[in-house]
Amino acid sequence: MEKVRGFEVAKGFEDKGINMPVRKTQYSAGYDIEAAEDIVIPSFKKGMAPTLVKTGLKAYMQDDEVLFLYNRSSNPKKKGLILANSVGVIDKDYYGNVDNDGHIMFAFYNIKDEDVQIKKGDCIGQAVFQKYFVADGDNATGVRNGGFGSTGN
């Protein structure tokens, strides 16, 4: 079977019991993504970096597709979790990169007054595959040389 788009376990997580993302209903756009391990997301303090929550997953897709990472609609109200980048963007060439094999992580801030505990297997967000277009005259030729935050380096 030809691989078109989907998820795989990232290197280093092969024996960690990672569950493949699933859509819970027939008309859901998003695949529910789980945390790969227990982690505490501290209450936000000015100047702190977001907490990266590992998924143990990587994603493959077609040349004209992207994977968007979205927060769960209940996370801000129930857990105080917001995505630091509003929407995560996973490009096709992130898959299998030399730095981290394309490992997908969610970058969260916790806006509650108390720390938030995430347990392995907790649903932390959604992933949606989508087609995209390029503008007339686009001539991008760059090659990704790394992992998280490496576009343009």
Q: Are 108 and 115 in contact (CB under 8 A)?
A: no
Per-residue pLDDT band at 142 (split at 50, 70, 90): confident
Question: Whole-model pTM?
Answer: 0.90
Residue 51 lies in a domain: yes
Residue 145 lies in a domain: no
Residue pLDDT, tens place only, 18-74: 999 999 999 999 999 999 999 999 999 999 999 999 999 999 999 999 999 999 999
Residue 139 lies in a domain: no
Domain, as residue range, for 122 = 6-131
Residue 153 lies in a domain: no
| Total of domains in the chain | 1
Question: What's the rounded Cα separation, in Å, for the pair 72 and 21?
Answer: 14
Strand partners, 91: 66
Q: Are 81 and 41 in contact (CB under 8 A)?
A: yes
